[in-house]
Amino acid sequence: MDKFFTNEHGYFNWQSVLAIVGILGFFWGIYIYVDKRKSKVQERKIQSQVQKQEKLTEPYNELIRIISLFPNRTPYDVMTLLSYGPPNFSSENFDTVNRILEIQIKENYQKRLERKGLTYQDEEDIKTEIRNREYCIKEIEKIKNQYFLAKKEYERLRSTDKIIELYASQDVKNCLVKFDGTWHRAFITGRPLEYNDGRNNRLDDIRWELEQVIRADLGII
């Protein structure tokens, strides 16, 4: 090694030293270049994330607000307390269901109350069926009003605000597809929203999932 730094006459070999310094300088330059490049890439990522937040924060907040407007129950979920005879619900036929319930009260249960010879328990059972149907009518009317308001707001947002369509992550878009399928099955096809085991209903699950993927898309988590 000592010979490398001295020449044939035993003097210090500056050319060798300069060569080593040149090589080290070359590699140091590469390191600086790579480091600066990484820094610029990171800066671009941060800048891109900030720009995304600026574009999507307001539309995402509006989306979450509107989705929270959808009712957690369908007429089927409300009518589970009826012992028998609940009308079929589908294709948003809230009014038809309520008319059938009203007919059941007037033409069936109220007339049965007029019969003679009813026991006390018979009367109480009939009155319970009437009260349950009156309750269902009120709740279904609330659900109808809440549903049509939410649907109108949701369709307006999706048709007029293209920011989400253009800039949202694929996870957010996939979650919205699941949400669309869920409320269509509930209010168009006529399926219950509530789980049989008492857990949160299907819309609540999707709302929670949507909030998580939105937070991830905005870089909040």
Q: What is the pLDDT of residue 70?
A: 94
Average pLDDT of the chain, as a whole number: 82
Tell me the pTM: 0.72
Q: Is the pLDDT of residue 41 over 60?
A: no
Q: Is the pLDDT of residue 168 over 90?
A: no
Query: Average pLDDT for residues 79-86, to the nearest whole number?
Result: 83
Residue 215 identity: R
Q: Which residue has the higher pLDDT, 75 or 22?
A: 75
Residues 207, 114: Cα–Cα separation, whole Å:
49
Q: Is the pLDDT of residue 141 over 90?
A: yes
Residues 188, 148: Cα–Cα separation, whole Å:
12
Q: What is the pLDDT of residue 151?
A: 95
Q: Which residue has the higher pLDDT, 203 or 197?
A: 203
Q: Is the pLDDT of residue 180 over 90?
A: yes
Among candidates 155, 197, 182, which has minimal Cα distance to 74? 182
Q: What is the pLDDT of residue 165?
A: 85
Residues 71, 67: Cα–Cα separation, whole Å:
9
The vertex-49 CA angle with 45 and 54, nearest 5°, equals: 150
Residue found under tokens 């026991």: 119
Q: Which residue has the higher pLDDT, 30 or 147?
A: 147
